Amino acid sequence: MCCLILWVSTHGCKVGRKGRLVRVTCNGEVLREVPASKLTEVIVSGRASISSDAVQLLAENGVPVLFMCGWRPVALLHGFFMHGTVLTRREQMAAYGDGRGVHLAKGFVRGGLVNKAQLLRYFAASRGRSDRELADVLEEAASEVFRIACDVEGVEGDTVDDVRFEVMGLEAEGTKVYYEAVRLLLPDGVGFERRERRPPRDPVNAALSYGYTLLDGKCLSAVAACGLEPYAGFLHADRSGKPSLILDLSEEFRQPAVDRAVISLFSRRVLGREDFKFEGGRVVLEGKGRERLLKALNDRFKGEVRVDGSMIPLENVIFRQARMIVRYLLGKAPRYEPYVFTWH
């Protein structure tokens, strides 16, 4: 069955309902009609709007609606979750002050770094015949990132506050090595030098920001469904308006879900500078380029990966990891193992 992500951001556009269809209109003109059953997510950003009838239809079909402000998710509408969350949240809060929080924080960083190394090895393998020199450089960078990931386990402390500075320092060190290698995979004309978040100032950073926004929405859905508090993380520090646990969980999925798609699109020149608008020091992805990116990201989320001997969609792995956090917090699992992707 066809599964789509609907992203509506044009000023004045409205998401409404016609029977079992989700309808997008702008200034009275119908731009698109999609059966609700074929949607996996609706994203509303900018000054677009959505009707209560459309929200009800989407909820009945299990389709979350994510509201964005710039690059930041500000609200998620989802079907009502009928479960008890009190004990889970009590243990989540308590874990911040004991060894469980340390274990989770180190796990999120280790998982993110190992997946950075894995993605570099994936691209090294794909370049092995066409550019042996580049493949060797990528392999060397992957080994360095993996070494740094191993160092994370050696960080000691009784609480998250005791280890955060050192753990985040290792994460930053590995990320620097990773992006220096990624730059070698991209065409010269895209202007990528390093990761820049807000605002993105080159096409690659703009595409990464789009992808991470989508990933954060899926992590938010998973965390909410499992009864966890999105704003009480372990690795990322608490700050008003910052969904720390969402950022923690997304560490494991940025490379297999987003970076893999974005790097491939640019390296194969499916996306280029011509797909972006440059305005006021920021870069915006538009039109057909955004459609191509959303399709590639959706393919990654829907694509099956091997976990514990079974093949399941990557987006389901996000929910699995959220459930594993709960099991660990409640003492039903001895440890939390981050997701590490393979491509063989």
| pLDDT surpassing 60 at residue 83 | no
Answer whether 315's CB lies under 8 Å from 222's CB. Answer: no
Q: What is the mean pLDDT of residues 104-122?
A: 97
Model confidence at 84, pLDDT cuts 50, 70, 90, reads low
Q: What is the CATH number of the domain that holds 201?
A: 1.20.120.920
Structural tokens at position 112: 């993110």
182 and 290 part of one domain? yes
Average pLDDT of the residues of the chain = 89
Q: What is the mean pLDDT of residues 226-247?
A: 85
Domain hosting 324: range is 86-329
Lowest mean pLDDT among 46-50, 90-94, 101-105, 142-146: 46-50
Model confidence at 70, pLDDT cuts 50, 70, 90, reads low
| Better-predicted residue by pLDDT, 30 or 221 | 30
Indicate the DSSP class of residue 198. Answer: S
| Better-predicted residue by pLDDT, 300 or 46 | 300
Q: What is the mean pLDDT of residues 19-47?
A: 89
pLDDT digits 0-9 by tens, 250-294:
999 999 999 999 999 999 999 888 888 887 777 887 778 888 998
| pLDDT surpassing 80 at residue 106 | yes
Nearest to 105 by CA among 172, 152, 169: 152
Per DSSP, the residues of 33-92 read EEEGGGEEEEEE-TT-EE-HHHHHHHHHTT--EEEEETTEEEEEE-----S--HHHHHHH
Model confidence at 320, pLDDT cuts 50, 70, 90, reads very high
Q: Is 340 a member of any domain?
A: no
In whole angstroms, give the CA distance from residue 37 to residue 39: 6
Q: Is 59 a member of any domain?
A: yes
Q: Is 338 a member of any domain?
A: no
Question: φ and ψ at 33, to 5 degrees?
Answer: -135, 130
| pLDDT surpassing 90 at residue 173 | yes
26 and 165 part of one domain? no
| Better-predicted residue by pLDDT, 145 or 42 | 145
Number of domains in the chain: 2
pLDDT in the model for residue 119: 98
Q: What is the CATH number of the domain that holds 23?
A: 3.100.10.20
Q: What is the mean pLDDT of residues 40-63?
A: 87
Residues 6+ apart with CB under 8 A from 180: 141
Beta bridge partners of 25: 14, 30
